[in-house]
Amino acid sequence: MFDIQGTLVTLDVVERFFCCDLGACLGACCIEGDAGAPITEAEREQLEAVLPAIFDDLLPGAQEEIRRSGVAYRDVEGELVTQIVDGRNCAFTCYEAGGLCSCAIERAYRTGKIAWRKPISCALYPLRVKQYPSYTAVNYDRWKICKPAEVLGRREGVRVYEFLREPLIERFGQAWYDELAASCRLYLEQYCRED
């Protein structure tokens, strides 16, 4: 583990390679699982604020579920998460040609319809941030659907902390990221010369 300004960060951020390969996974992280993406109360308010701009892009089942139950709910562990449809699909997914799942929020952001990209837990995936009473932990979520991303990351030589540079800066700040990157480079020099 790295201790970066009081945040414990898994060594997976430097030891593992990662680069999303949407052509291979088709965005499965948005449609697989048993709960929505973790969000904060402030992000719930953001979702409600951008909903009018993205509502027409959502699938009919998602529109119905949001009308009935709202943009978020508490999962079995009591965490606030994005609404899901059919017990697994994030309500904010939409589909492109070829079955590619994409995020209606991010699509609206990229086209200039809204100024918010998406919940930070989505941008940081496959990293998960967990707040404990005395520290924050950043862990790598190992899931078979991300195997193509690991393969592409290794082929391209991109490590997790490099791939997730922008969302890590958004979540923790530039100084925090710079310290993490320096720690990762030092670790690689000392322990991973064969990579």
- Separation in Å, CA 46 to CA 63, 117, 131, 169, 193: 17, 10, 21, 20, 44
Looking at the structure, do residues 168 and 133 belong to the same domain, yes or no?
yes
* Residue 67 domain boundaries: 26-117
Per DSSP, what are the bridge partners of residue 9? 2, 138
Residue 153 to residue 65: CA distance in whole angstroms: 36
pLDDT at 81: 92
Q: Where are the alpha helices (DSSP H) in 26-164?
A: 41-54, 60-69, 104-110, 120-124, 147-156, 160-163
pLDDT (tens digit, 9 = 90+) per residue, 80-116?
999 999 877 889 998 887 777 888 999 999 999 999 9
- 87 shares its domain with 30: yes
My answer on whether 13 and 63 are in the same domain is no
Same domain, 30 and 113: yes
Q: Give the count of domains, the chain.
A: 2
Question: What is residue 105's three-state secondary structure?
Answer: helix
Last residue of one domain, picked from the residues 91, 117, 143: 117
What is the C-alpha R_g of the chain? 17
Query: What 3-state class would DSSP assign to 74?
Result: strand
Can you read off the two tokens belonging to residue 156?
């391209």
pLDDT for the residue 29: 75
Tell me which residues of the chain have a pLDDT lower than 50: 195
pTM: 0.86
Answer with the one of 90, 117, 144 that is the final residue of a domain: 117
pLDDT of residue 88: 77
3 and 37 housed in the same domain: no
d(CA 45, CA 33) in angstroms, rounded, equals: 24
Asked if 31 and 101 count as a contact pair (C-beta separation under 8 A), the reply is yes
Domain boundary among 72, 90, 117: 117
Residues 30 and 112 both lie in one domain: yes
pLDDT tens per residue across span 66-79: 999 999 999 888 89
Q: Do 103 and 34 sit in the same domain of this protein?
A: yes
User: Do residues 56 and 111 both lie within one domain?
Assistant: yes
